[in-house]
Amino acid sequence: MIDFQNGGFFKLRPVPFNNVMPVLQPLFIEGEQIIACFQGIRDSVTFTTKRIIAINVQGITGKKKDYTSLPYSKIQVYSIESAGVFDLDSELELYFSGLGKVKFEFVGNADIAAISRVISQYVLR
């Protein structure tokens, strides 16, 4: 499980859906679809129509994985920080009811505004 006291996923880059589909498909519920996928050095984060799934790859071989399901319904507050001229990273901080904060740092061409719209669509219902 994500360490909500120090939870963070860094240097996330957009990746094609088919990079994570074989691993995540067995976890999906009926009607759940991928919206966006991001991968760091080993870890990954996938935004679906129901939740955010964070995969923390563990061990030397990387065969052991921790899957954390973060439902949009538990998000109380979120914050985005867009990339700048010199700081090219954008950030998303999510505060979950009763759990704490998770931080995602995106590099490159991640569309943080689109991610914000997706989260707002589910949180502001």
CATH number, domain with residue 74: 2.30.29.50
Furthest-apart CA atoms within the chain: distance in Å: 43
Tokens representing 100? 């704490």
Specify the pLDDT at position 10. Answer: 80
Q: Which domain holds residue 101?
A: 8-123
Q: What is the mean pLDDT of the chain?
A: 86
Query: For residue 64, is it within any domain?
Result: yes
Report the pLDDT value the prediction gives residue 70, as an integer from 0 to 100. 92
- Residue 2 falls within a domain, yes or no? no
Question: Residue type at 75?
Answer: I
In a domain, 1, yes or no: no
Q: Does the pLDDT value for residue 4 go beyond 70?
A: no
Condensed to tens digits (0 to 9), the pLDDT of residues 37-66 reads 999 888 889 999 999 999 988 888 888 888
| 75-95 pLDDT, tens digit each | 999 999 887 766 678 899 999
pLDDT at 112: 86
Asked whether residue 32 is domain-assigned, the answer is: yes
- Residue 107: per-residue pLDDT: 87
Q: How far apart are CA 26 and CA 4, in angstroms?
A: 25
In the chain, how many domains are there?
A: 1
Cα 54 → chain centroid? 6
User: Does a structural domain hold residue 62?
Assistant: yes
Instruction: Kindly report the pTM of this predicted structure.
Output: 0.87
- Look at residue 3 and tell me if it is in a domain: no
Name which residue leads in pLDDT, 72 or 109: 72
19 torsion bin: left (phi>0), alpha (psi -120 to 50), beta (else): alpha
Separation between Cα atoms, residue 90 and residue 21, nearest integer Å:
25
Residue-level pLDDT at 26: 93
pLDDT category of residue 98 using cuts at 50, 70 and 90:
confident
Q: Is residue 112 part of a domain?
A: yes
Amino acid identity, residue 78? Answer: Y
How many angstroms separate the CA atoms of 117 and 119, rounded?
A: 5
Q: Is 73 left (phi over 0), alpha (psi -120 to 50) or beta?
A: alpha
